[in-house]
Amino acid sequence: MYTHLMEGPSVLKLSREEILGQIERAAQERLHMSGAEMLRCYKAGRLRDLGSVADVIVLANLLAEDDPIFASR
């Protein structure tokens, strides 16, 4: 039997640039679109395959609501 004890919660810190980089890579690899386009589709309710990028949407939610990525066109 294997027992793993954690000493406390882990914290991962990402800069805005790191978050945007992960969003961009995932959007291009999984949906063949830019990160900004993916986020616009998500905000407009037009993202067809939400399940394939759910982890990236969670990252995007860490950004401020008024972040320029949400307004880019």
Asked if residue 3 is part of any domain, the answer here is no
- Please report which confidence band the pLDDT of residue 6 belongs to, taking 50, 70 and 90 as the band edges: low
DSSP string of the chain? ------SS-------HHHHHHHHHHHHHHHHSS-HHHHHHHHHTT--TTGGGGHHHHHHHTTS-TT-GGGT--
Asked if residue 10 is part of any domain, the answer here is no
For residues 19-41, give the mean pLDDT: 95
Domain count, the chain: 1
Q: Which residues form the domain of 53? A: 16-70
Question: Is this structure's pTM higher than 0.75?
Answer: yes
Asked if residue 25 is part of any domain, the answer here is yes
